[in-house]
A and B are shown apart, each in its own frame.
Chain A
């Protein structure tokens, strides 16, 4: 009833090509932003920040990054964990080498470094396609994790081989380390999420995004109509790795604080982010958020229901979690290959006609 475009007339090209052309969508977007920036920081506490909101925001960035590569450009990558590790270690090296520089710059630079590494590992995509490429990206995953594990320069020769985030601030507010207040870390991540989502949304609607989608739909045909596959694929790898690198930097510096690379950025992480993209919806920015929220919430809900309510041991709940995630992946691929985002689209179509469907 409220959701319709009737009477929503546009009188200029700018108005017609804006990100959310339907008024209801636009207002909802403003409301979400207002709640996220204006209300949540005042009511947030440590539990909510660390158990749900921070992982959700950070995984959302990683999922947007991977979605650009897999969902928009059709290049399946299983190296997300490795690229997140690049972001984390780049951030660590920058934080310890230049303690006075703002964290914003460190995180952005970490993203940039990851983008360069991503392009390097993206080069074979020009020759290798489909799941040959998916397996080839595993080379990045294993090599990078090994590199950070074995070369002491990356972890500043610390005895444990771990990296620990030193205390750093932005405009005098502590962002990293154990003393950082929950609202500050939350806002810091939120700013990056908003920034990444806006960039991704606009890139995917523009020329760059269209060349990516042309490559995804059929690369040979795209080449024939004048899309440069080198440029399209490598920009996809660069932008995707940039986001994934930012996510890795935030994951290490703001969320965890201490990282052992093999555990945190192993192949499981790559699959987790890939699952977020599949469940959320391939080729949809909203889907990246939905998938991240879903897979962050699922273990927490299962833990609350299984351990706290039913009183099962934690290991059984962890195994059930695997079973459910696996079954969900298969179900989504069979029933709704476009994921949660498509369910949302269908719901919107229905709402537009409601209450008079005919």
Chain B
């Protein structure tokens, strides 16, 4: 087999793995969008916030330590204990539920019935707010996150492919774990929205607020639930990306990576988010591999957007989106 083709195959495999991670973030967007019609720009910052909280709890950091020290002249930094990963994850989930409640109570409740674009801008404001709070709470330096996920090259794949192609593929163990977790998460979410009472209520709200209210579904509860689920997805995404590249500001930029995925797949479709993620993951890696060296590299920054833009011109609702019907 020619060498270039083998390289390309490795690139495609890595692209698929990256695509799964994009899809993971995109899922959070789709959930909130389906249930409340809100396009939640803050999803990426929520992932950052979740990851920072997780690290902070695990290391026993004092929240707002910098602010307290600056105001009162004290020198508190740590409680002096370490929390085991699993417990810390559960505690972080609790924080995310609280956050969901706060968002619903103080922001979204007051914006019911506004135009989608106003809601979108409100979530941009929320993203700024959360980012500032996260930095104030836990400090803005780069942190490492280790909850015991396997990392490094997968030797089995390396050996197997070496035997077949004479060239060992480099696939990160973490990416494989992420793929499995993403698959489980999607299955769980689909099962949740199809077979449980709350999941059905959520879909009812998405379909028609008024009708859902009239059959006795509590909008407040559903929205808090949806934001909590999105917080959970953010936590999972935050753990994956945080383990991969450290917990830092750039983590919140994965939201920007997820946007073209959504546009490609359609905002309302869970399978769309996955297929879109895979297309973008493979597309940008292949483009960088084939065309990147000719034009100076780092094409990953914009390729996904331009692809989505061109695609949207031909199909404005995305691959799997519901057809947009406009009436006067």
Per the bound structure, the CA–CA distance linking A319 and B328 in Å amounts to 45
Asked if A130 and B117 sit within 8 Å, CB to CB, the answer is yes
CB distance from A276 to the nearest CB of B (A): 12
List of A residues within 8 angstroms of B127 by Cβ: 326
Asked if B326 and A220 sit within 8 Å, CB to CB, the answer is yes
Asked if A271 and B124 sit within 8 Å, CB to CB, the answer is yes
Interface of A is mostly: helix
CB distance from A148 to the nearest CB of B (A): 11
Across the interface, name the chain A residue whose C-beta is closest to B134. Answer: A319
Known: A132-B263, A327-B125. A146 touches B299 (CB 8 A): yes
Per-position 1/0 for B288-302, Cβ under 8 A of A: 000000011111011
Per the bound structure, the CA–CA distance linking A149 and B135 in Å amounts to 29
Per the bound structure, the CA–CA distance linking A76 and B313 in Å amounts to 17
List of A residues within 8 angstroms of B297 by Cβ: 150
Known: A135-B263, A278-B121. A322 touches B308 (CB 8 A): no
Interface of B is mostly: helix
List of B residues within 8 angstroms of A142 by Cβ: 301-302, 305
Asked if A151 and B296 sit within 8 Å, CB to CB, the answer is yes
Question: CB of A178 within 8 A of chain B?
Answer: no
Asked if B110 and A334 sit within 8 Å, CB to CB, the answer is yes
Question: CB of A264 within 8 A of chain B?
Answer: no
Asked if A220 and B121 sit within 8 Å, CB to CB, the answer is no
Stretch at the interface among A37-45, A100-108, A121-129, A167-175: A121-129
Stretch at the interface among A46-54, A185-193, A197-205, A309-317: A309-317
Asked if B70 and A312 sit within 8 Å, CB to CB, the answer is yes
List of A residues within 8 angstroms of B308 by Cβ: 135-136, 139
Asked if B132 and A321 sit within 8 Å, CB to CB, the answer is yes
Contact of A322 among B120, B128, B262 (CB under 8 A): B128
Known: A150-B297, A274-B121, A333-B111. A323 touches B132 (CB 8 A): yes
Asked if A150 and B295 sit within 8 Å, CB to CB, the answer is yes
List of A residues within 8 angstroms of B71 by Cβ: 310, 312
Per-position 1/0 for B102-135, Cβ under 8 A of A: 0000010011001011101110111111111101
Number of A residues with CB within 8 Å of any CB on chain B: 50
CB distance from B269 to the nearest CB of A (A): 14
Per the bound structure, the CA–CA distance linking A150 and B298 in Å amounts to 9
Asked if A128 and B117 sit within 8 Å, CB to CB, the answer is no
CB distance from A27 to the nearest CB of B (A): 36
CB distance from A193 to the nearest CB of B (A): 25
Given contacts A138-B259, A142-B302, 7 further A-B contacts (CB under 8 A): A76-B117, A136-B309, A136-B312, A143-B302, A278-B121, A323-B128, A326-B126
Q: Which 5 A-B pairs have the closest CB atoms?
A: A326-B129, A329-B125, A322-B132, A326-B128, A323-B132
Chain B residues engaging chain A, CB cutoff 8 angstroms:
39, 66-67, 70-71, 107, 110-111, 114, 116-118, 120-122, 124-133, 135-136, 140, 256, 259-260, 262-263, 295-299, 301-302, 305-306, 308-309, 312-313, 316, 324, 326-328
